Structure 1
Amino acid sequence: MILKKGQVERYVSFIEEGIVRYYIPKENKEITFELTFANDFIGAYDSFLTRQPSVYHIETITPTKLWRLSYEDVQTLYRETERGNLIGRLATEKLFLEKVKREISFLNDTAEERYLNLLTEQPELIKKIPLQYIASYIGITPQALSRIRRRIS
């Protein structure tokens, strides 16, 4: 577990290797809303920026190696270095574009298309993610995902 619901995010992290999932715990289920892979930044950015408690959990789902910077270190980098400011801006822009892409996919694509896109983008890594997490991530039940997988195989 990287961050539990109710904790304030103290770090921004870079995944050297592994897979991380973000999820919202509900009474009888968990809703996975983000999967992040190696060579990407992770963190509860809303909590990190506002210094308010997170409303979701972040956990690793495979063995993972992270590089972390504290909130204070990030603020120092922004304040004292142009390169730190540039990296922060580029990471934020990338995160924004990924969120927009995901929202548009939920509005325009079928569940099958979302699954096929995930397979195309992360073919090897997707094999390491439990099916219930994939189903939740693309917004369907595990049973519906099983039907999709049978249909396309």
Structure 2
Amino acid sequence: MEHIKKQLEEIYPLSDQDWQSFYAKLTKQEFSKGSLILKEGQQENYLSFIDRGMIRFYIPGIDNDLTFGFSFEGEFTSGYDSFLTRTGSLYAIEALTNTTLWRITYDDLQTIYNTTSMGNVIGRFFSERLFLLKFKRELSLLRDTAEQRYMKLFEERPNLIQYIPLKYICSYIGITPQALSRIRKRIS
């Protein structure tokens, strides 16, 4: 719980009243490794903070899933498009490890936005950060070679390479396992 408070205070000075309003709305939920946090077609009803664990975002496929994102300990996460539009998700979210989330519902977050001084500032900050991450990845997929995308993972998100199975990394950077094997041989 202190991780959340610390992150929020880095963005905006929290009054005790604002923190208590926010804190009172959080619920803790545990997910075991491999379990679905959000199923394809299900409406996302939570904005979550990862207290412990890692998750991946993917589009389920018949032969292969298409992994397009990861979130790690200490980060806020959500099926955010579904959360905002109140529609079913076009993808799934899976716990890659045993994962503990602190969660706030859509309705409770709207209450926080309307009743605290910090709500809108923090909401805007996280929305903008999510947009920038997605935009940067999209540009990378369009402009960079597979090897460049792989090397950027080392620089920008070393925890991805360290803890995520290679099949998910391949899918994330848009290459086959064989192509990744060749890239790894070339750079080692």
**Could you tell me which residue of structure 2 aligns to residue 31 of structure 1?**
66
Indicate which of 97, 103, 119 corresponds to 1:68.
103
- Displacement, 1:85? 1.1
**Could you tell me which residue of structure 2 aligns to residue 7 of structure 1?**
42
Q: How does 1:105-120 map to 2 (within 5 A)?
A: 105-120=140-155
Indicate which of 115, 123, 132 corresponds to 1:80.
115
Q: Provide the rounded CA distance (Å) in 1 between the counterparts of 2:116 and 2:50.
A: 23
1:52 pairs with 2:81: no
* Structure-2 change in CA distance of 1:97 and 1:77 (3 Å): same
1:42 pairs with 2:77: yes
* Residues matched between the structures, number: 153
SS at match of 2:57: strand
Q: Provide the rounded CA distance (Å) in 1 between the counterparts of 2:79 and 2:128.
A: 16
* Structure-2 change in CA distance of 1:93 and 1:124 (3 Å): closer
C-alpha contact (below 8 Å) 1:12/1:42 kept by paired residues: yes
Q: Provide the rounded CA distance (Å) in 1 between the counterparts of 2:97 and 2:173.
A: 19
Structure 1, residues 92-122: CA drift from partner, whole Å, max 9, x if none?
A: 0000111111111111111111111111223
* Structure-2 change in CA distance of 1:71 and 1:130 (3 Å): same
C-alpha contact (below 8 Å) 1:11/1:70 kept by paired residues: yes
Q: Provide the rounded CA distance (Å) in 2 between the counterparts of 1:39 and 1:115.
A: 23
Q: Provide the rounded CA distance (Å) in 2 between the counterparts of 1:116 and 1:91.
A: 26
C-alpha contact (below 8 Å) 1:12/1:69 kept by paired residues: yes
- Structure 2's unaligned 5+ residue stretches are 1-35
1:148 pairs with 2:183: yes
Whichever of the two has the greater Rg, that structure is: 2
Q: Provide the rounded CA distance (Å) in 1 between the counterparts of 2:112 and 2:179.
A: 46
- Displacement, 1:64? 2.1
C-alpha contact (below 8 Å) 1:62/1:128 kept by paired residues: no
Query: What letter is aligned with 2:146?
Result: A
Query: What letter is aligned with 1:130?
Result: P
1:98 pairs with 2:109: no
User: Identity of paired residues, percent?
Assistant: 58
When normalised by structure 1's length, the TM-score is 0.95
SS at match of 1:29: coil
SS at match of 1:2: strand
Query: What letter is aligned with 1:103?
Result: E
C-alpha contact (below 8 Å) 2:82/2:89 kept by paired residues: yes
C-alpha contact (below 8 Å) 1:19/1:37 kept by paired residues: yes
Q: What's the C-alpha RMSD, in Å, of the aligned pairs?
A: 1.2
